[in-house]
Amino acid sequence: MAAAARLLPVAAKRLTTTARARRLSTSTSTSPPATAVLYDQHGPPDKVLRVAELPAAKIGERDVCVRMLAAPINPSDLNRVEGVYPVRPPLPAAVAGYEGVGQVHALGGAVDSRLLSPGDWVIPSPPSLGTWQTYIVNPATAWHRVRSDVPPQYVATVTVNPLTALRMLCDFVNLAPGLLSLLSSLFFPCN
């Protein structure tokens, strides 16, 4: 009995070490193939945007594969495609889309499942990851978990429009108690 009691902590440590080593082992999984809206040159969106099938992407040890649920079309998205927005993805084959909401599809082996788990809803943070595609693989640090009890069309727009409204209110308006503010936009479903 005494010998078994002494071996129990050693066995537990060995099991923990083995489990950790397995979790940190090289991942060989891949994402499903994705459908994406992309462009090879800047220009009018109706002329340069195209739908393409992308091959499956390797999910690295610290990566997360996300199935996109919703991604809005902002004026800044169109400006990027046109080439007039200051921040643009590299060409060719730039996937369009700046913000959106997705659902975690798969985790790399070294991603802590206490931070992100399959089924969690996430937004890209920072944005600009090419959200107009069905599946995205990026490092876990590029995703921020959000609530899943809010309609996806609202969560998908949380990155750009509310912050734009905040900047407008802070930079261009003298805020005072009782001030009423109304924001209206075709691209902003949270009027």
Check residue 136 and give left, alpha or beta (phi > 0: left; psi -120 to 50: alpha): beta
> What confidence tens digit (pLDDT) does each residue in 140-185 have?
999 999 999 999 998 998 888 777 778 888 888 888 888 887 766 5
pTM of the shown model: 0.74
Strands 101-107 and 63-70: antiparallel
Catalytic pick among 39, 85, 98, 154: 85
CB 153 within 8 A of CB 68: no
> What confidence tens digit (pLDDT) does each residue in 54-75 have?
999 999 999 999 999 999 998 8
39 is catalytic: no
Identify the structural domains of the chain with CATH numbers, from first to last: 26-172 (3.90.180.10)
Mean pLDDT calculated for residue range 125-133: 85
> What confidence tens digit (pLDDT) does each residue in 28-55 have?
599 999 999 999 999 999 999 999 999 9
* 19-124-39 Cα angle (round to 5): 120
